[in-house]
Amino acid sequence: MADAIIAKAKAIYGKRLTREDYNNLIHKKDVSSVVSYLKTTPRYHSAFANVNEAQVHRGQVEQLISKDVFELYLKLCRFVAADRNSFCWYLIKELEIKQIINALMYIKAGSYEGYLLEMPSYLMGYVSFDLMKLAAAKDYGDVLNVLSDTPYAKVLKPLLTNSQGVLVFDECAVALFAWYVHWAFKTIDRDFKGSEAKNLKEIFLRQSDLNNITMCYRKKSLFNEDSSQIKKSLYSTYRRLTVEKLDEILSQPDADKQLLAFLKKTYLREKIECDPQNIEMAIRRYNYAYYKKQLAFTDNGTMALYALMFLCETECSNLKKIIESVRYGRPPDETEKLLVL
Amino acid sequence: MAIEKMALVQIEGVLKRVNKTLMKCCESKCFHIISSNRTNDSRSGGFKSLKSKSPYEPLVNRCRAIANSLGIEIKTVDYDDIDFNVSVDFSNYFELIEKKLNEILDRKLTLESSLKEHSEALMLAERLSGFDVKFSEIFACDFIKIRFGRLPVESVPKLSYYSDRSFTYYRFAEDEKYAQILYIVPKDNSVEVDEIFNSLFFERTRIPDYFQGDADEAKTQMLKAVREENEALDAVNADIKALRLEIEGTFLKVASKLTALDQSYELRQNVSVYNNKFFISGYVPKRKLKEFTDSVTSVSDVEVREKPLDSEPNSSPPVLLRNCWLFRPFEMFVKMYGLPNYNCFDPTPYVAVTFMLIFGIMFGDVGQGLLITVLGIILDKWRKVKLAPIMQRIGITSAIFGVLYGSVFGNEEIIEPFFKMPSIYKMLGYISAPADIFQVSTILLIASIGIGVVLVLISMAMNVATNIRTPQWLSEAVISPNGIVGMIFYASVMAGVALQMGFGIQMFTVPYIICLIILPLALIFFKEPIVSLFSKKKGKGKSVNIVRAVKTYGDSISQLPPINDVEELLDELSSTSFVKAQYGELELSAYGRIKDSVGGDYVFYPFEVKENTVTGVYIAMLKDFPIVDRDFSALGFKKMKMPDQVEDIRKEEKLRLDEYTEKQQKERKSVGNFIIEGIIELFESCLTYITNTMSFLRIGGFILSHAGMMLVVSVLAAKAGDAAIVVQILGNLFVIGMEGFLVGIQVLRLEFYEIFSRFYKGDGKPFSPVVANFSAED
Minimal Cα distance from A60: which residue of B? B201
Q: How confident is the model at residue B776 (pLDDT cuts 50, 70, 90)?
A: very low
Candidates B143, B68, B108, B121; CA nearest to B236 is B108
Minimal Cα distance from A51: which residue of B? B177
A50: nearest CB among B154, B157, B177: B177
Helix axes A255-263, A279-297, angle to 10 degrees: 20
- Residue B12 predicted with pLDDT over 80: yes
Judge contact between B46 and B276, C-beta under 8 A.
no
- Residue B617 predicted with pLDDT over 70: yes
Q: Does A30 fall in a domain? A: no
Judge contact between B186 and B233, C-beta under 8 A.
no
Q: Which residues of A touch B178 (CB under 8 A)?
A: 50
State in Å, rounded, how far the first CA of chain B is from the last one: 40
Distance from CA of B564 to the nearest CA of A (A): 22
Partner-chain contact A50 B155, CB within 8 Å: no
- Tell me the per-residue pLDDT of B79-134, one tens digit each, with 9 for 90 and over: 877 877 777 888 889 999 999 999 999 999 999 988 888 887 888 788 777 677 78
Q: How confident is the model at residue B580 (pLDDT cuts 50, 70, 90)?
A: confident
Judge contact between A141 and A162, C-beta under 8 A.
no
pLDDT at residue B467, rounded to an integer? 85
- Tell me the per-residue pLDDT of B33-73, one tens digit each, with 9 for 90 and over: 887 555 444 444 456 767 667 788 888 888 999 998 888 88
Partner-chain contact B203 A56, CB within 8 Å: yes
Angstrom distance (rounded) from CA A173 to CA A232: 11
Q: How confident is the model at residue B366 (pLDDT cuts 50, 70, 90)?
A: very high
pLDDT at residue B539, rounded to an integer? 45
Element (H, E) at A230: helix A227-231
pLDDT at residue B778, rounded to an integer? 32
Provide the sign of the torsion angle of the four alpha carbons B67, B71, B77, B81, taken in this order. Answer: negative
pLDDT at residue B540, rounded to an integer? 45
pLDDT at residue B240, rounded to an integer? 92
Judge contact between B32 and B289, C-beta under 8 A.
no
Q: Does A183 fall in a domain? A: yes
Candidates B62, B66, B64; CA nearest to B105 is B66
Q: Which residues of B touch A56 (CB under 8 A)?
A: 201, 203
Q: Does A21 fall in a domain? A: no
Angstrom distance (rounded) from CA B49 to CA B164: 79
Angstrom distance (rounded) from CA A322 to CA A338: 9
Distance from CA of A46 to the nearest CA of B (A): 11
pLDDT at residue B549, rounded to an integer? 67
User: Does ipTM surpass 0.90 in this model?
Assistant: no
Distance from CA of B114 to the nearest CA of A (A): 19
- Residue B140 predicted with pLDDT over 60: yes
Total domains in chain A come to 1
Q: Does A161 fall in a domain? A: yes
Cα–Cα–Cα angle for B697, B698, B699, rounded to 5 degrees = 90
What's the rounded mean pLDDT across residues B743-759? Answer: 90
pLDDT at residue B660, rounded to an integer? 52
Partner-chain contact A121 B155, CB within 8 Å: yes
Q: Does A313 fall in a domain? A: no
Phi first, then psi: what are they for A247, rounded to 5°? -60, -45
Element (H, E) at A36: helix A31-39
Q: Does A105 fall in a domain? A: yes
- C-alpha B18 chain-centroid distance: 33
What residues have CB less than 8 Å from A55, skipping those under 6 apart?
Answer: B203, B204
B178 in A contact zone (CB under 8 Å): yes
If you average pLDDT over every residue of chain B, what do you get? 83
Q: Which residues of A touch B177 (CB under 8 A)?
A: 50-51
In this structure, what DSSP letter does residue B641 have?
Answer: P
B161: nearest CB among A57, A124, A135: A135
Q: Does A156 fall in a domain? A: yes
Distance from CA of B119 to the nearest CA of A (A): 16
Angstrom distance (rounded) from CA B681 to CA B481: 10
Partner-chain contact B152 A63, CB within 8 Å: yes
In this structure, what DSSP letter does residue B421 have?
Answer: S
Residue A175: other Cβ atoms inside 10 A: 17
Angstrom distance (rounded) from CA B715 to CA B411: 11
Angstrom distance (rounded) from CA A231 to CA A247: 10
* Amino acid occupying residue A204: F
Q: Which residues of A touch B155 (CB under 8 A)?
A: 121
- Tell me the per-residue pLDDT of B190-210, one tens digit each, with 9 for 90 and over: 888 998 998 898 988 877 777
φ/ψ bin of B768: left (φ > 0), alpha (ψ from -120 to 50), beta (otherwise): beta
- Residue B773 predicted with pLDDT over 70: no
Q: Which residues of B touch A59 (CB under 8 A)?
A: 201
- Residue B426 predicted with pLDDT over 60: yes
User: Helix, strand or coil for residue A124?
Assistant: coil
Angstrom distance (rounded) from CA B428 to CA B411: 23
Residue B187: other Cβ atoms inside 10 A: 11
User: Helix, strand or coil for residue B316?
Assistant: coil
Element (H, E) at B399: helix B388-405
- Tell me the per-residue pLDDT of B675-699, one tens digit each, with 9 for 90 and over: 888 888 889 989 999 999 999 999 9
B152 in A contact zone (CB under 8 Å): yes
Candidates B571, B573, B564; CA nearest to B621 is B573
Phi first, then psi: what are they for B321, rounded to 5°? -80, 145
Residue B169: strand pairing partners: B183
Question: In terms of residue numbers, what domain contains A154?
Answer: 85-191
φ/ψ bin of B303: left (φ > 0), alpha (ψ from -120 to 50), beta (otherwise): beta
**Higher pLDDT, residue B118 or B310:** B118
- Residue B575 predicted with pLDDT over 70: no
pLDDT at residue B538, rounded to an integer? 45
Distance from CA of B714 to the nearest CA of A (A): 45
- Residue B516 predicted with pLDDT over 80: yes
Residue B95: other Cβ atoms inside 10 A: 10
Candidates A123, A132, A117, A136; CA nearest to A60 is A117
B163 in A contact zone (CB under 8 Å): no
Candidates A340, A281, A283; CA nearest to A314 is A340
Q: Which residues of A touch B156 (CB under 8 A)?
A: 121
Among B72-76, B84-88, B381-385, which stretch is predicted with the lowest mean pLDDT? B84-88
Partner-chain contact A121 B177, CB within 8 Å: no
Q: Which residues of A touch B199 (CB under 8 A)?
A: 117
Candidates A89, A236, A101; CA nearest to A167 is A101
Partner-chain contact B152 A119, CB within 8 Å: no
| DSSP codes of every residue in A252-319 | STTHHHHHHHHHIIIIITTTS---TT-HHHHHHHHHHHHHHHHHHH---HHHHHHHHHHHHHHHHHHH
Judge contact between B314 and B40, C-beta under 8 A.
yes
Minimal Cα distance from B156: which residue of A? A121
B187 in A contact zone (CB under 8 Å): no
Judge contact between B455 and B754, C-beta under 8 A.
yes
pLDDT at residue B412, rounded to an integer? 82
**In B680-750, beta strands by DSSP E:** none
Partner-chain contact A121 B157, CB within 8 Å: yes
Helix axes A58-77, A2-14, angle to 10 degrees: 150
Judge contact between B693 and B452, C-beta under 8 A.
yes
B158: nearest CB among A56, A60, A116: A116
Low-confidence ranges of chain A (pLDDT < 70): 1-2, 81-84, 162-167, 270
In the stretch 320-379 of chain B, residues with CB closer than 8 A to chain A read none
Angstrom distance (rounded) from CA B394 to CA B222: 60
What's the rounded mean pLDDT across residues B748-775? Answer: 81
User: Helix, strand or coil for residue B605?
Assistant: strand
Could you tell me whether strands B203-205 and B645-647 are parallel, antiparallel, or unpaired per DSSP bridges?
A: unpaired
- Tell me the per-residue pLDDT of B241-287, one tens digit each, with 9 for 90 and over: 999 999 998 999 888 888 888 877 777 878 888 778 888 889 999 99
Q: How confident is the model at residue B135 (pLDDT cuts 50, 70, 90)?
A: confident
Angstrom distance (rounded) from CA B616 to CA B586: 8
User: Helix, strand or coil for residue A43?
Assistant: coil
Q: Which long-range contacts (CB under 8 A, 24 or more apart) does A218-225 make?
A: A220/A250, A220/A255, A220/A256, A220/A259, A221/A256, A221/A276
Cα–Cα–Cα angle for B691, B693, B695, rounded to 5 degrees = 65
Cα–Cα–Cα angle for A264, A266, A268, rounded to 5 degrees = 45
User: Helix, strand or coil for residue A231?
Assistant: helix
Q: Does A62 fall in a domain? A: no
Judge contact between B657 and B553, C-beta under 8 A.
yes
- Residue B642 predicted with pLDDT over 80: no
- Tell me the per-residue pLDDT of B402-418, one tens digit each, with 9 for 90 and over: 998 888 998 888 888 88
- Residue B775 predicted with pLDDT over 50: no
Minimal Cα distance from B196: which residue of A? A117
Cα–Cα–Cα angle for A116, A120, A123, rounded to 5 degrees = 125
Find the length of chain B.
778
